Amino acid sequence: MRVVTGRILVFSIAILALHHAHAEDRVVPDEFNSAILHLRSVERIETPYIGFAANPAPRRFYKLLKVCLTYGGTEDFKDLLKDANPMVRLMGLACLAKVDVARHAHVFESSMTDRGTVGMLQGCVASQVTVGELARRLVADPDYLEFREWQTPEKRRLTTESSGAQTSHARRRPRS
């Protein structure tokens, strides 16, 4: 009888410990909440260099993306998709794209109809883009919002084709 009681006690403690550990997993760190609070004041997504003189951009969205990926989890990112702010919803999509686009394909598919707009500054060209359009671009290239200058031509082609835009190739000067 003592052995059975002892085993039940050990089993009960183990279940409580697992439940407590699981509950702590869902606690959102202050760093994540702080990043989302700062994200609400972000006006646009920027490429690394802006303007005619190619001045370094602050890239607040990109920096906050790194914080969110470090301190948030998949459920946190899905919760961002329910926010009224389109920039916050886009952050949720950007984070899910970095985790695994294929596994969250249904989330991206439903987000493609999101008509909320966010500002973008690519070089010296400012525009407004819908969250739905950016969801399509993230499916084609999960790194799209990082605006890597060393992006391969194949990735640029896929990103451009998914947006329905025409590809423009830079002209090269002939060698002398």
Q: Which H or E run contains 109? A: helix 105-111
Domains held by the chain: number: 1
- The parent domain of residue 110 ranges over 27-163
| 125 vs 12, more confident | 125
Q: Tell me what pLDDT residue 154 has.
A: 53
Q: Tell me what pLDDT residue 14 has.
A: 44
Residue 59 lies in a domain: yes
Q: How confident is the model at residue 152 (pLDDT cuts 50, 70, 90)?
A: very low
Closest listed residue to residue 111, CA positions, set 85, 135, 79, 142 = 135
Residue 37 lies in a domain: yes
Closest listed residue to residue 89, CA positions, set 107, 101, 70 = 107
Residue 1 lies in a domain: no
Residue 19 lies in a domain: no
Q: How confident is the model at residue 51 (pLDDT cuts 50, 70, 90)?
A: low
Q: How confident is the model at residue 59 (pLDDT cuts 50, 70, 90)?
A: confident
Q: Tell me what pLDDT residue 76 has.
A: 95
Residue 169 lies in a domain: no
Whether the pLDDT of residue 164 is over 80: the answer is: no
Residue 121 lies in a domain: yes
Over residues 109-130, the mean pLDDT reads: 91
CA distance readout (Å), 25 to 18, 46, 51, 54, 171: 11, 33, 43, 42, 52
Express each pLDDT in 126-146 by its tens digit: 899 999 999 999 999 998 887
Residue 4 lies in a domain: no
Over residues 159-173, the mean pLDDT reads: 43
Express each pLDDT in 61-91 by its tens digit: 888 999 999 999 999 999 999 999 999 999 9
Whether the pLDDT of residue 148 is over 70: the answer is: no
Express each pLDDT in 30-49 by its tens digit: 999 999 999 999 988 887 65
Residue 122 lies in a domain: yes
Beta strands 125-130; 55-56: pairing state: unpaired
